[in-house]
Structure 1
């Protein structure tokens, strides 16, 4: 059984996918002006780079987006011969306005990756207004593919294209026609809105849960649980649009939703580079900006068989857990795995086979390159949004294996903690927070004011010794809390 859990009651929105009550994927959405995957903007071309065959596009955010020639509608509509000769300078000019969609979010110093080949996603179809191609899900039976291809060719015109998703396997033609018209209508609405806006401008921003539910919802999902009434209504409306509507439940218990399902604990574990395996061996994740290196170590496991069997057994367990951790932590880019050395090609093939099975469970695109001559395993995983580690923590030497929790992470954590006390008869809280977060709050006094206005509680903050913990030292009447704090500060 799978369950989607949506924590939308605070400023920070968190969405999690559970499988048999275990967290397998999580996404965090914070109030931000940064471009999010799926957003559509009316952008303005700032600079054309013939050497890179790309352009920088101002979309109204701090960093310009990056758009490659291959992602321009004008380029895709050329013949194959003309594509070989085409230069981006002849396809787009500085100062020109263009409708673009975010295909990859900002990371580090890099701006968002953009595409002019915008798409609109439905349950059955993905509609591309400017990409004349028909793709069919690989999961659809061969016997159905010809009929679906014929249908796609008959309903498209001009530069239109489609991806026909797995849900079309039984060929629900009437529903497919209806959804295609709805997706075309979304395009017209976006173009109409764009015509009335001056670049740069945000044109379309899907609800935070939309891209995730599109990826996660399948026959194994039994329910969606939401802890915010307005979001619950939006999700319920969305879930009802499926042929077999999903059950959506409103959670209104006192205990925080992510705490109820143990998700907070699992998220905390992703901040550690060390992952223990069930047989006493362990993994160590070394995440850098360029790549992620993963070391497999036998640890406490010595095995009762000969060494080669012990090594293969450990590597098999490690391979499956690594693939789960990549999805859970949302690690992407280049990945190198140092498995325990195996001499036999048959043993190595067992590892590759186990990893291929796990790839099918992950909706992100992965490529397994295999073992190098040095015995290292190489693979890549497509990056669409920052990893959990990037979102929650920042690099800092000598702390938490080189990381401390971001002040933004601690701020939203504090908001959730304070809201728990709105169920009690208290006026004020004395909260001990990490020193770097205390300094950040002093520089951003409006942040504290927001939480006070939301909860009606008076908050007193003081710096503690922990770099990660937020602790309520005292709660009660305002004068009592103030007196206790002053007394302990003497």
Structure 2
């Protein structure tokens, strides 16, 4: 059974997906005005530069977007000053604006409509000709639009398919009216884009959804309509949803380079300036009598876990995998098939290349938003930005959850906290905000900054002797609240 956990606070939306109790994917979206993948904007062609095959588009934001000057656009006669609809296909990076495309699409649960396309295409995962014929009888071509039938369509009735197609056409009609009659440049489609995208891509016949936000709850109901196989539950607890269901601990593990395998081996994931490198090690897996079988067993388990880790960590760009050397050529084929199977659910644009002469596998994966590291970590100031530490905002969230959990189980309201010294300057500069962020304006907090710990440590203080031992670390900022 698939479970989807949706947690939203003022600054961040987080979504986690589990299949049969195992965490498979995570999505994060920070509250910002920056364009996000899948959003659609009304833009105006600002400049065309044939020398670099680029078109720069004003989309109503500080940074201009850009797209490639393709032969199709040349034939259309696109020119400076034209007002067009564009879809974000790559988020802005550093000083570079968002990359956009004129091939604008709106996804539904069962199909995707693309403006300017033609005909009806099917997902590669739909193999049944009988199902294809049924769907083609239910829906017809639409002039000026391309229709891509998604895998989930095989579970939908004819009425559901027709209803969704009509809904998507109405949405496009609204966008076209905004293009023609609105005087303003800017976003015309894509509110709550991450939530909608994740739900339309991951709802299947049996699914349970948890959310802590009332508006998201209404959005979910509008998407699933009347489905008896999808259960929706509103989460009401002072602790965060991710902490309550143990997802927070699993996310923290993703910072570790080494991932243990059940067979005794492990994989090590390293990030370089140019690529990700994944190394497979047999380690403690020496129980088998046959060397080749032991290697195959380790590589097969590694292939499955590598596919999961790529999706979980949202690794993108070039990924190189160094499996344990296999002397039997047929074993390489088995491992390759296992890797492809592990990545078949990946909705990103991914390409897996054959084994090289050095027995390496190369993967090219299109960037789908930010990697999980970009949400969890920030550059370490004390080592001149050469290393990374957990973001203070994330540390505060973890501490807050622990304090609330203790308060639920007892009447303790005094805590001793150790923080990595990397955070000292910023916390000392605004201790009141730190206390507010960990929900401890009315608690007694003893705070110490130390070296050599990963993030933080926290200890409830029960006895007077405990408080006496740390009295010099008491924060007095809570007096401002009173």
Question: TM-score, structure 2 length as denominator?
Answer: 0.83
Please give the alpha-carbon distance, in whole angstroms, between the structure 2 residues aligned to 1:51 and 1:385: 29
Point out the more displaced range, 33-42 or 185-194.
185-194
What does the per-residue CA deviation read over 1:63-115, in whole Å, with 9 as the maximum and x for residues that have no partner?
A: 43331234xxxx64xxxxxx8xx479x5232x544322212323456543211
Q: Which has the higher contact order (CA 8 A, sep 6+)?
A: 1
Change (3 A) 1:18 1:144: closer
Please give the alpha-carbon distance, in whole angstroms, between the structure 1 residues aligned to 2:246 and 2:254: 13
- SS for the counterpart of 2:315 is coil
Point out the more displaced range, 399-408 or 121-130.
399-408
Please give the alpha-carbon distance, in whole angstroms, between the structure 1 residues aligned to 2:164 and 2:417: 51
Cross-structure match for 2:37: 37
Cross-structure match for 1:359: 343
Please give the alpha-carbon distance, in whole angstroms, between the structure 1 residues aligned to 2:316 and 2:115: 29
Please give the alpha-carbon distance, in whole angstroms, between the structure 1 residues aligned to 2:393 and 2:416: 20
Cross-structure match for 2:214: 229
Residues 326 and 332, structure 2, Cα contact 8 Å, conserved in 1? yes
Please give the alpha-carbon distance, in whole angstroms, between the structure 2 residues aligned to 1:197 and 1:429: 56
Please give the alpha-carbon distance, in whole angstroms, between the structure 1 residues aligned to 2:290 and 2:261: 20
Cross-structure match for 1:79: none
Residues 47 and 57, structure 2, Cα contact 8 Å, conserved in 1? yes
What does the per-residue CA deviation read over 1:217-269, in whole Å, with 9 as the maximum and x for residues that have no partner?
A: 11242x10112233223323322x26556210112234432122210111001
Matched, 1:335 2:319: yes
What does the per-residue CA deviation read over 1:403-445, in whole Å, with 9 as the maximum and x for residues that have no partner?
A: 2123453455566667769979899988654444443457789
- SS for the counterpart of 1:304 is coil
Change (3 A) 1:167 1:316: closer
Cross-structure match for 1:132: 118
Please give the alpha-carbon distance, in whole angstroms, between the structure 2 residues aligned to 1:171 and 1:217: 12
What does the per-residue CA deviation read over 1:183-207, in whole Å, with 9 as the maximum and x for residues that have no partner?
A: 1221232334455655542222332
Query: Which 5+ residue runs of structure 1 have no aligned equivalent?
Result: 77-82
1:349 Cα deviation from its structure 2 partner: 0.6
- SS for the counterpart of 1:57 is strand
1:362 Cα deviation from its structure 2 partner: 2.6
Change (3 A) 1:170 1:21: closer
What does the per-residue CA deviation read over 1:439-466, in whole Å, with 9 as the maximum and x for residues that have no partner?
A: 34577899669859x9975897956226
Question: TM-score, structure 1 length as denominator?
Answer: 0.81
Please give the alpha-carbon distance, in whole angstroms, between the structure 2 residues aligned to 1:444 and 1:211: 38
Query: Over aligned residues, Cα RMSD in angstroms?
Result: 3.8
Cross-structure match for 2:480: none
* Equivalent position to 1:144, from 107, 111, 131: 131
Please give the alpha-carbon distance, in whole angstroms, between the structure 2 residues aligned to 1:451 and 1:489: 14
Point out the more displaced range, 307-316 or 454-463.
454-463
Cross-structure match for 1:156: 142
Cross-structure match for 1:388: 372
* Equivalent position to 2:237, from 244, 253, 278: 253
**What pairs with 1:389-468 in structure 2 (closer than 5 Å)?**
389-396=373-380, 402-410=387-395, 412-413=397-398, 433-440=419-426, 451=437, 464-465=449-450, 468=454
* Equivalent position to 1:368, from 352, 360, 379: 352
* Equivalent position to 1:183, from 129, 146, 168: 168
1:120 Cα deviation from its structure 2 partner: 1.2
Cross-structure match for 1:105: 91
Matched, 1:348 2:332: yes
Residues 13 and 28, structure 2, Cα contact 8 Å, conserved in 1? yes
Please give the alpha-carbon distance, in whole angstroms, between the structure 1 residues aligned to 2:385 and 2:414: 31
- SS for the counterpart of 1:16 is strand
- SS for the counterpart of 1:185 is helix
Please give the alpha-carbon distance, in whole angstroms, between the structure 2 residues aligned to 1:398 and 1:449: 27
Change (3 A) 1:460 1:285: same
Query: Which 5+ residue runs of structure 2 have no aligned equivalent?
Result: 477-482
- SS for the counterpart of 2:364 is strand
Residues 428 and 457, structure 1, Cα contact 8 Å, conserved in 2? no
Matched, 1:378 2:365: no
Residues 293 and 335, structure 1, Cα contact 8 Å, conserved in 2? yes
Residues 412 and 460, structure 2, Cα contact 8 Å, conserved in 1? no
Change (3 A) 1:455 1:177: farther
Change (3 A) 1:439 1:134: farther
Change (3 A) 1:446 1:118: farther
1:27 Cα deviation from its structure 2 partner: 1.0
Change (3 A) 1:289 1:459: farther
Change (3 A) 1:475 1:27: farther
* Equivalent position to 1:297, from 266, 276, 281: 281
Residues 118 and 141, structure 2, Cα contact 8 Å, conserved in 1? no
Residues 45 and 97, structure 1, Cα contact 8 Å, conserved in 2? yes
Please give the alpha-carbon distance, in whole angstroms, between the structure 1 residues aligned to 2:436 and 2:182: 31
1:318 Cα deviation from its structure 2 partner: 1.0
What does the per-residue CA deviation read over 1:124-169, in whole Å, with 9 as the maximum and x for residues that have no partner?
A: 22111222343212233123335545665x4411x21111222333
Please give the alpha-carbon distance, in whole angstroms, between the structure 2 residues aligned to 1:30 and 1:436: 23
